């Protein structure tokens, strides 16, 4: 035999008792809520006036202001990347290569497909810097000198 238990219509007796208790003590509850929130409870319950637009409001969406012409410079970053960056904005323009450790030597590796780079430099840049690929850095030839040599070969000064 199956016994079917269905929900009784209307609210439960316990729910009605709790609602009645809350309604009877509403003023005390509101007073306590205002005391705890520093009056914020009653202030949040008041209807607010919606702001009204005065006059004609025009929003123009668009891009940022046009940037000035790029002023490139060559920089060797702290993590050994050799990049061309815009001096006006500080943004990277090109990744030229890396300075890698090979044994005890530091060697400049040009960003080409032959050297295993996914995003190689343009062919014109690769041809101009081909003789610097594999250059060994030492006390006599520093990162700053490498950056100035790359800038001279690319016409960036």
**DSSP one-letter string for the chain:** ------PPSS--HHHHHHHHHHHHTHHHHHHHHHHHHTTHHHHHHSPPPPP---S--------PPPPPPP-EEEEE-TTSEEEEEETTT--EEEEEEEEEEETTEEEEEE--TTTT-SSPPPHHHHHHTGGGTTPEE-SSS-HHHHHHHHHHHHT--
pLDDT at residue number 17: 93
Where in the chain are the domains? 13-45, 72-154
pTM above 0.85, yes or no: no
Q: Which residues of the chain have pLDDT under 50?
A: none
């Amino acid at each position: 035999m199956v016994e079917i238990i269905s929900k009784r219509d209307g609210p439960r007796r316990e729910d009605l008792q709790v609602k009645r208790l809350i309604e009877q003590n509403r003023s005390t509850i509101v007073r306590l809520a205002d005391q705890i929130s520093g009056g914020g409870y009653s202030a949040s319950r008041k209807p607010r006036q919606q702001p009204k637009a005065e006059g004609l409001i025009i929003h123009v969406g668009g891009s940022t202001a046009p940037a000035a012409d790029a002023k490139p410079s060559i920089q060797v970053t702290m993590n050994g990347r050799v990049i061309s960056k815009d001096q006006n904005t500080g943004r990277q323009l090109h990744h030229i290569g890396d300075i890698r450790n090979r044994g005890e030597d530091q060697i400049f590796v040009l960003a080409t497909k032959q050297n295993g780079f996914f995003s190689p430099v343009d062919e014109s840049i690769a041809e101009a810097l081909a003789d610097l690929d594999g250059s060994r850095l030492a006390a006599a030839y520093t990162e700053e000198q490498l950056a100035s040599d790359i800038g001279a070969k690319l016409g960036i000064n």
